[in-house]
Amino acid sequence: MTTALYPGSFDPVTNGHLDIATRAAAIFDRLTVAVFDAPAKNLLFTTKERMDMATEALKGLPNVNVTSFTGLTVDFAREIGASVLVRGLRVMSDFEMELQMAMVNRQLAPGIEVVCLMSSLQYSFLSSSLIKEIAKLGGSIDNMVPEHVARALRQKFPPNSDPDFIPRHLGG
Ligand code: ADP
């Protein structure tokens, strides 16, 4: 039985992430989607919020579970018995970063393979940061994230909010 780990910030989970998770779940016996607790970037959502949104979005897939982790991804992979790390590739610039990470992870844990899935065309321009920016400026994000995520974003950026308002997790 092959367990795969799909790690990321998921701040918030997007339709692009869900596309990768759904396709990975069809390839591997079990897939753990793991929300990285403390990435080196400003977050809009707490770890619990990020986990809850991903759990709700993926609840229809029986072989997928959502959790959070801290520390090295490969250590967490070993802890849960995962032999594959799943990553999504959108554009060439993703490739450089993913290649570097894959090389480092292979040094750290030679037994763990990195499998990159190419983004589906309609999601190849989507990123969590772009979606947050659109939501902040009051644009429609309806086809980019599930409905419950769009609702959560609207709560963070109410329509009449001060444009200079910076939520606590973004460092304000
Ligand atoms: P990280 O902070 O690790 O970049 P993200 O949550 O932004 O975490 O992304 C997790 C993984 O999902 C990464 O491999 C990223 O390239 C991939 N990903 C993000 N957005 C998309 C998308 N629209 N299509 C395909 N893969 C994506």
Domain ranges of the chain: 3-121
Closest ligand 1 atom to Cα of 86? 14
What CATH number is given for 3-121 in this structure? 3.40.50.620
For ligand 1, say whether the CB of 128 is within 6 Å of any of its atoms: yes
pTM of the model: 0.91
For ligand 1, say whether the CB of 99 is within 6 Å of any of its atoms: no
Closest ligand 1 atom to Cα of 127? 20
DSSP one-letter string for 9-43? --TT--HHHHHHHHHHHHHSSEEEEEEESS-SS--
Q: Is the pLDDT of residue 153 over 80?
A: yes
The rounded mean pLDDT for the chain is 92
Write down the pLDDT at residue 171: 47
Burial class (CB in 10 A: 0-12, 13-18, 19+), 35: buried
Number of other residues whose CB lies within 10 A of the CB of residue 57: 26
Span 46-94, pLDDT tens digits:
999 999 999 999 999 999 999 999 999 999 999 999 999 999 999 878 8
